[in-house]
Each structure stands twice: as structure tokens, then as C-alpha cells.
């Protein structure tokens, strides 16, 4: 459910790559406890906006705030420490490790126990290892991957690898989750299940922002939608408002929506 209090405030966000302006003066807010969609045609600047919010790229101008914290200029690890986790287009997993080992590593990172402690056998490190194992088991079961816990991650089907990427992000215990094309490569049935998973993530208290090209899925699950075109925001509102917006229809909804951002 969306509340009046924003968890994320993006103001005047701009990114230049040499002489190319990829994102231009983009502003929007994300309500706590909401699902917000970020959509637009190929080259609209959606993933670049994610990269700016998560600190992967420094902004050329503008600011990003989470609650009362200014995230502008922070490193990705510092931003993650403030409670933001993200997934990526494609998968960012350890392909030669099992699904369980992948999530356990992420859970250990979220526990903030120094790796040196593990080497010298401190009790806190041993306890953290056991807790990470337990949390990894819980997350895999919750996300529907418990049957693949011992499977090598790189051998999983693409849809399952995408879910594993979400599991890794959840292991960090985020307050805000950025999902980059979570339904890519999924068939209609898998998309329905993944969309339900996103709702459950929100219902468990994690605010969600997603970039996605599956417009019908976005319209079904999002509380609000922000539309970008050529790096600029052209519309924002409820799914019904966005669907009826003439600029959005002209720039995106009436065009081929299968291109990647």
C-alpha cells in the first residue's frame, strides 16, 4: 500500500556521457510500501536511472534521497548499507556455486560480519555462518527455488536464474528493492508467478521500484508508473492515468515494446 511519506526522492537527476545526455532533469518520488514502475521505449534512460540511484554511476546533476539521507555521491556499498538492493539485466550470480551457496554469501554480506573473523574462528563468525545458512534456506523456499538449492546456479533455466538474482538482493535485507527487468525471458505463466512474488515482497514490507518492458504486467501490479522518453520524464501517475496519457501512447504504448532498455 502507498503512503503519503516517500521512501525515495529523486530530484533533477541528470547524467551526461561526454556530449550525450542519457538522463535529463528527472524527478519523482516513491511512496513507502508501494510498487512503482519505470517504463519507456528503448534508450529512454531507465537502467541509467537505476544506476544513478544505486551509485553505479555518479550523477552529473541532481540528487537522490532515501528517507532523510542524501545518497548523492555515495559509493554503491554505502548506498546498499542505507537499505537499497538491486538486481541487474541479465544475471549477476556465481555460476559455479549452488543456489544455496549464492544466497548464503549474500546473507553473510548483509550480516556485516568481517571476513577476517571467519579465518580466525571467532564465535560471532560461526554464528553468522549458521544464521546465513538458515536465512538462505528460508529465502529459497519463500521465492520458490528450494527444489534447486543444491543445483549449480549456472545450470538453472534463465527464469530461475532471474529469481535467484532477486533472492540474492533480498538476502541483503533491503528496505527498497530495485528490480531491473524481473520478467525478462519468462513465459506468460512464469510472469504471472513472478508478478505475484513482487506483490509478496511489497506485502512483506519492502518497497519496490521496477524497470520492465512487459507493460501489461506493470499495469497490473504497480501503484504508480513513471514514464521516460529520450532521458526525460514525460508522464507519471496511476496505471489508468498513464494508459490514457496521449504523450505516453505516442512515445511508447503505441509502439513496439519488445526492445531492451
- What's the pLDDT at 125? 66
Task: Please provide residue 205's backbone torsions phi and psi, each rounded to the nearest 5 degrees.
Answer: 100, 10
Buried/exposed code over 122-147 (b: 16+ C-beta within 10 A; e: otherwise) = eeebeebbeebbebbbebbeebebee
Residue ranges for the chain with pLDDT beneath 70: 1-4, 90, 110-125, 255-261
- What's the pLDDT at 118? 52
Closest CA to 98 of 153, 39, 25: 153
Task: Please provide residue 19's backbone torsions phi and psi, each rounded to the nearest 5 degrees.
Answer: -90, 5
Q: Would residue 64 count as lying in a domain?
A: yes
Q: Note the pTM of the prediction, 2 decimals.
A: 0.87
Q: Would residue 223 count as lying in a domain?
A: yes
Q: Quick one: 77 exposed, middle or buried, by C-beta within 10 A (0-12, 13-18, 19+)?
A: exposed
Q: Would residue 132 count as lying in a domain?
A: no
Report the SS3 class of residue 145: coil
- What's the pLDDT at 68? 82
Q: Would residue 226 count as lying in a domain?
A: yes
Q: Would residue 9 count as lying in a domain?
A: yes
CATH number reported for the structural domain that contains residue 34 in this entry: 3.40.50.300
Q: How far apart are the first and last CA of the chain?
A: 28
Q: How far is residue 36's CA from residue 40's CA, in Å, rounded to a whole number? A: 13
Report the SS3 class of residue 197: helix
Q: Would residue 122 count as lying in a domain?
A: no
Task: Name the domain count of the chain.
Answer: 1
DSSP for residue 39: E
Q: Would residue 243 count as lying in a domain?
A: yes
Q: Would residue 10 count as lying in a domain?
A: yes
- What's the pLDDT at 174? 95
pLDDT in tens, 82-128: 999 999 876 788 999 999 999 999 988 766 545 555 555 566 667 77
Dihedral Cα 134, 194, 106, 129, nearest 10 deg: 0
State the number of CA atoms in the 13 A half-sphere of 37 facing the CB. Answer: 30
What residues make up the domain containing 16? Answer: 1-73+209-261
Amino acid at each position: 500500500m502507498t503512503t503519503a511519506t516517500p521512501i525515495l526522492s529523486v530530484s533533477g537527476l541528470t547524467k551526461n556521457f561526454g556530449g550525450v545526455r542519457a538522463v535529463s532533469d528527472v524527478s519523482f518520488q516513491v511512496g513507502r510500501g508501494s510498487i512503482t514502475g519505470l517504463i519507456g521505449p528503448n534508450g529512454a534512460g531507465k537502467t541509467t536511472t537505476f544506476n544513478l540511484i544505486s551509485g553505479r554511476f555518479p550523477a552529473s546533476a541532481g540528487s537522490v534521497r532515501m528517507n532523510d539521507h542524501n545518497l548523492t555521491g555515495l559509493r554503491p556499498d554505502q548506498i546498499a548499507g542505507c537499505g537499497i538492493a538491486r538486481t541487474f539485466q541479465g544475471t549477476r550470480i556465481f555460476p559455479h556455486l549452488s543456489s544455496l551457496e549464492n544466497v548464503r554469501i549474500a546473507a553473510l554480506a548483509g550480516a556485516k560480519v568481517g571476513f577476517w573473523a571467519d579465518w580466525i574462528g571467532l564465535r560471532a563468525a560461526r554464528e553468522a555462518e549458521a544464521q546465513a545458512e538458515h536465512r538462505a534456506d528460508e529465502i529459497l523456499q519463500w521465492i520458490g527455488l528450494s527444489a534447486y538449492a543444491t543445483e549449480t546456479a549456472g545450470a538453472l533455466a534463465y527464469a530461475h536464474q532471474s529469481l535467484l538474482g532477486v533472492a540474492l538482493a533480498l538476502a541483503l535485507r533491503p528496505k527498497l528493492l530495485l528490480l531491473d527487468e524481473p520478467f525478462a525471458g519468462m513465459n506468460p505463466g512464469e510472469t504471472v508467478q513472478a508478478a505475484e512474488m513482487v506483490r509478496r515482497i511489497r506485502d512483506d514490507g519492502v518497497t519496490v521500484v521496477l524497470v520492465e518492458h512487459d507493460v501489461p504486467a506493470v499495469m497490473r501490479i504497480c501503484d504508480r508508473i513513471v514514464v521516460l522518453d529520450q532521458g526525460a520524464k514525460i508522464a507519471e501517475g496511476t496505471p489508468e492515468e498513464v494508459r490514457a496519457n496521449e504523450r505516453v501512447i505516442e512515445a511508447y504504448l503505441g509502439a513496439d515494446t519488445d526492445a531492451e532498455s
